[in-house]
Amino acid sequence: MSTALGAAFGAALVLQPRRILALTGTDPDLPGVTTAARILGARHLAQAAVVASAPSRFRAARWAAWVDGLHAASMLALAATAPDYRRAALTSAGVAGALSAAASM
């Protein structure tokens, strides 16, 4: 389930980054934020592909949970140090935390 959610979120970020950013209340005109959203979306898609094709789904899901947990932690650090990017970082941390928790179940 978390793999499908991550893939859907990744596709949305790659295809419509400005729309997704606007939905979260993030200014899509902030320098670099649209590019970062597309890169993050590509990472979500790649992660979903790796998990879906892994011979051991359990091991792959644990790896995915770890990656999403690290991403959430890095976004919390960004939120604490970059006020202009706080909303985007907190939104990304929340999504990553939820995906990490879902992959851990």
**Owning domain of residue 48:** 2-104
What DSSP character marks residue 54? -
The set of residues, in sequence order, having a beta carbon less than 8 Å from that of 62 and lying 6+ positions away, is: 103, 104
The set of residues, in sequence order, having a beta carbon less than 8 Å from that of 37 and lying 6+ positions away, is: 13, 17, 20, 21, 88
Structural contact between residues 24 and 79, judged by C-beta atoms closer than 8 angstroms: no
pLDDT classification of 1: cutoffs 50, 70, 90? low
What separation, in Å, do the N-terminal and C-terminal C-alpha atoms of the chain show? 10
- Number of domains the chain contains: 1
Digit-coded pLDDT (tens) for 18-37 = 999 999 889 999 999 999 99
pLDDT classification of 97: cutoffs 50, 70, 90? very high
